[in-house]
Amino acid sequence: MSLLGQETLDWVGGFSSDQLEMQEEEENQDTVYYLWQLESLKKNISPRYIRYLDVESYLKTNRLLKRGILFTYNGLRDDSVELCGNFSNWTCLPMKRNQFGIYYYVLEPEMITAQYEDDPIYEYKFRVGGILTFDPENLDKVEDGSGSFISRYVLNRKDTNRQIHSLVLEDSASEEYDFRTVKFQIYKPDAEVVSLVGDFNDWNPENDFLKKDRNGIFSLEKKLLPNQEYHYRFIVDGEYMLDTYNPISNVKTDTSETVSSIYVPTRSTELERKE
């Protein structure tokens, strides 16, 4: 007996093509799908930005809500379909096939620049049976110089993760062997000025100012020595506050104030040399 009733299964079938097709390509931030709904798509659709719940990988990643650009291809008669594009230096990524022969891939949007000079353009093709082809459902395409086309998707708005917190980066544009990069960040769209104080800058409120992006996220990357725990607070328009969604905090012994804490571990993988 199925865990889902027939009424639910019928609704999933209705959702699979019709509901997603009727949605705007840029999904509303209040619209959240389930991974099993993607598994029920019955035909390919043009690429679009979505938010979805991935219950299957939650225990491994500790991330339930995920965001990304959904790419689909109708490959009912094909053994494998891959997604290739400028977002992966044209390395082809294997797509997942659902029970209806629809291949799909949800790409996390990492191409957006910190300065937001332009909206990022995702250029891509599908590789089907070893042959590269453009997306037949996507009308946005340019000639590739060899008699075919390159499909394009323009991400003109990035969803905002309001529950972000500071974290240690696995990699960054300028890594150093003896240090780890820590990205301090907080979502404060109505704030004007945010600075960072901590034991790494002698709690000096004028030493480290965060930069605000157009989504209302203030951020700053700092190089810190690994194998240590650091304590810090934000100053938002003159008001001291904790890192809202960082669950780790301690009491500062000399002032008895509560502070946020972050442990910087040693690097688990060898640092790759950047050209």
Average pLDDT, the chain: 82
Same domain, 141 and 181: no
- pLDDT tens readout for residues 141-160: 999 999 999 999 988 765 56
* Whether residues 172 and 83 fall in one domain: no
Pairing of strands 33-34, 48-53: parallel
31 plus 146 within the same structural domain = yes
pLDDT of amino acid 67:
81
The two tokens of residue 44 are 């390919």
Q: Are residues 149 and 171 in the same domain?
A: no
Query: What domain count does the chain have?
Result: 2
Question: Which of 38-47, 50-59, 127-136, 182-191 is the least confident region?
Answer: 50-59
Please give the residue range of the domain that contains residue 65: 6-154
Distance separating alpha carbons of residues 182 and 167, to the nearest angstrom: 6
Whether residues 19 and 90 share a domain: the answer is: yes
Is residue 149 located within the same domain as residue 181? Answer: no
Q: Are residues 171 and 112 in the same domain?
A: no
Q: What is the pTM of this model?
A: 0.54
- pLDDT tens, 61-76? 666 777 889 999 999 9
Of 133, 154, 175, the domain-final residue = 154
Residue 242 forms part of a structural domain: yes
Residue 1 lies in a domain: no
Q: Is 212 exposed, middle or buried (0-12, 13-18, 19+ CB in 10 A)?
A: middle
Judge whether residue 246 has pLDDT over 80.
yes
Asked whether residue 272 is domain-assigned, the answer is no
Tokens of 205: 């409120």
Which residues in 225-235 are b (16+ Cβ under 10 Å) and which e?
A: eeeeebbbbbb
